[in-house]
Amino acid sequence: MHLCGELLQNPALIGFLDNIPGMVYAIKLHRKKGGKVTISVQKIYNFLCSVKLAVTLFFLLAIGSIAGTLIEQGLPPEEYIKEYGERWYYWISLLRLTDVYHNWWFSLLLALLAINLAVCLSKRLPYIWRAYSAVDCDFTHNLVENFKHHTVIQFQGNIEEAKRKVEDILKGRKYKLWFENNPQNISILAAKGAIGRLGSPISHISIFLILIGAVLSSAVGFRSFYPFFEGEPVYIQEGNFSVVMDKFWIDYYENGGIKDYFSNLSVIDNGKMVTTKTIQVNDPLQYKGVWFYQSSYGTAWDRLDKVYIRITDKKSGKVVADETLDFRKEKGVAGTDLRLTASNFVSHFAFDSQTKQIFAKSAEHENPAVQLEINEGGKLIATPWIFYKYPNMFPIEKSKYNFVLAGYTAPQYSGLQIAKDPGVNLVWAGSILLMVGLFVSFFIFHRRFWIKIEPSEKNTLIYIGGITNKDHFGFEKEMDGIIKSF
């Protein structure tokens, strides 16, 4: 505290800090020889408001957005493995390109861009505000003659008549006037469209709101994919409620093409059903800020309804039985001492040699396999995987029977995108404000005239000069019209 007090009492340092433009000071402490601590200023501030930083951030955000557009977001791992292969999926997963817009590095880039925008705005806003609000009628005709657009009019009348004529002409063109009457002359400042100066700050603030909304959605919101099966509740942890799909169906055209597909959803909160809605593409369900979008549908990759098993005698090769098993329900085979259970299913069989895990390589039924629990003579003798496309690939040595996967039926699922986007209102507000800012910037121009009225020997001289912040061609035309009005 003693050290900081000494530093902040240094008049030269205070003067230096006061001369830095803007409202934000970035102060960095570093130790020099002899143990003295000094303050170096401006480096971080200049970095945060630099154009190079903004361009770099836009470039990196563009790359991330392109990746998020080309790579479909929020799908199960097996979908990415099927599409890109295991090698590319490793890098996609490592960089979290399956959920780009909720990625930590994407949120960091957005936050940095928001800071860059805020610091730049803090630097420019004081100058813009002064140009917007400044009113100064204390000037000479020499100032007026220094403007690029200026002229001198010889008016036949006294200065009061000249003042009334100027007032009538400029008020007719919607100018606001300020007067300063002196014994020997009259000074008039005329201005309109001052709000046009605020178009740029309004646009910057709107982009800042959009970025803050995006950061909020990225940090607090979420987006994921869930397969829903009829009658099975899915717990939504982010909202602390459950959703059940009561029914799923598809509408077809007369030629057999798919017209649309629907999911009837019920929301259960605190053990009670609070709402029900049938959703379809572009007509989602919303509850507690969580949105459920109809995204896709397909056939289950990890479960079945029915499993058809053909059992043959190893010695004779004769068919012993054709059994229909309910998934994960044990059933005895008539005339034998067998009891069978179809305990697991994968649509595209794959084996991870490192983890020793079996998994579905994709949701497509390219290599379907069922794990069968075989009880023979009251004992569990084997739990083999049997393959639909490769029957009898692995004979069961301990059994006197062969088991063939003759077929199966799998339930359909409804694929729903689930999202919570707490920043969406800020994004909408920023988008509307951006339209306002762009309109103000492009269609409202800040035009000002400085008029000095002075008497001369034979008549009254009216000195007129003006400037505009934009649309110089239109300003020249208006000035010509004002001059002709005299």
Least confident span in 30-44, 353-367, 443-457: 30-44
Find the mean pLDDT for residues 315-336. 93
* Strand, coil or helix: 174: coil
Which residue did the predictor score with more confidence, 48 or 386? 386
Q: Retrieve residue 188's tokens.
A: 């008039």
Q: Higher model confidence: residue 39 or residue 328?
A: 328
Please tell me the predicted confidence (pLDDT) of residue 24: 40
240 is written with which tokens?
């602390």
For residues 40 and 390, the model is more confident at: 390
Residue 359 · residue 366 · CB < 8 Å: no
Structure tokens at 295: 């995204």
Which range of 33-37, 220-224, 243-247, 351-355 scores highest in mean pLDDT? It is: 243-247
CA distance 79 to 298: 12
| Mean pLDDT, range 330-358, rounded to an integer | 91
In this prediction, residue 41 carries a pLDDT of 58
Q: State the pLDDT at residue 466.
A: 94
Q: How confident is the model at residue 134 (pLDDT cuts 50, 70, 90)?
A: confident
Length in residues, the chain? 486
Helices 104-133 and 51-70, packing angle to 10 deg: 140
Instruction: Indicate if the pLDDT at residue 32 is higher than 50.
Output: no
Per-residue confidence (pLDDT) for residue 26, from 0 to 100: 40
Task: Kindly state the average pLDDT of the residues 102-112.
Answer: 86
Position 1 scores a pLDDT of 39
Query: Could you tell me the fold of the domain covering 135-193+445-485?
Result: TATA-Binding Protein (3.30.310)
pLDDT value, residue 252: 92
pLDDT in the model for residue 434: 93
Alpha-helix runs per DSSP H in 21-103: 43-48, 51-70, 77-94
Rounded alpha-carbon distances, angstroms, from residue 200 to 98, 414, 440: 36, 47, 8
C-alpha distances out from residue 122 to 17, 129, 144, 380, 469, Å:
16, 11, 32, 76, 20
Which residues lie below 8 Å from residue 447, measured CB to CB, with a gap of 6+?
A: 175, 191, 192, 193, 466, 467, 468, 475, 478
Summarize pLDDT for 354-369 with one digit per residue, the tens.
888 898 888 889 999 9
- Give whole-number Cα distances, 157 to 170, 450, 453, 463, in Å: 18, 20, 11, 15
DSSP state of 353: T
pLDDT at 431: 94
Q: Determine phi and psi for 100, rounding to 5 degrees.
A: -60, -45
- At 154, which helix (H) or strand (E)? strand 149-155
> What confidence tier does 241 reach under pLDDT thresholds 50, 70, 90?
very high
Q: Does residue 16 have a pLDDT over 50?
A: no
pLDDT at 443 over 50: yes
- Reported as half-sphere exposure (CB side, CA atoms, 13 A), residue 446 has a value of 17
Residue-wise pLDDT tens digits, 83-97: 888 888 889 888 888
Across 428-457, average pLDDT? 93
Average pLDDT of 118-144? 86
Mean pLDDT for 54-61 is 89
CB-CB neighbours of 193 under 10 Å: 20
Q: Name the pLDDT band for 54 (thresholds 50, 70, 90).
A: confident
Domain boundaries, the chain: 2-48, 135-193+445-485, 306-410
How large a percentage of the chain has pLDDT more than 90? 51
pLDDT given at position 189: 94
What is the rounded CA–CA span in Å between residue 151 and residue 167? 17
- At 40 the pLDDT is 54
Q: Is 300 helix (H, G, I), strand (E, B) or coil?
A: coil
pLDDT at 25 over 70: no
Give the number of C-alpha atoms closer than 13 A to the C-alpha of residue 157, restricted to the C-beta side. Answer: 13
Q: How far apart are CA 54 and CA 88, in angstroms?
A: 31
Question: Could you give the 3-state DSSP secondary structure of residue 2?
Answer: helix
Q: Which residues are paired to 251 by β-bridges?
A: 260
Of 67-71, 241-245, 435-439, give the lowest mean pLDDT range: 67-71
- pTM assigned to the model: 0.59
Residue 355: exposed, middle, or buried by beta-carbon count in 10 A (0-12, 13-18, 19+)? exposed
Query: Within 10 A of 141 (CB to CB), how many other CB atoms are there?
Result: 21
- Please state the rounded mean pLDDT for residues 200-214: 90
Tell me the per-residue pLDDT of 157-201, one tens digit each, with 9 for 90 and over.
Answer: 899 999 999 999 999 999 999 999 887 899 999 999 999 999 989
pLDDT at 37: 45
Query: For the segment 265-286, what is each residue's pLDDT rounded down to a tens digit?
Result: 999 999 999 999 999 998 999 9
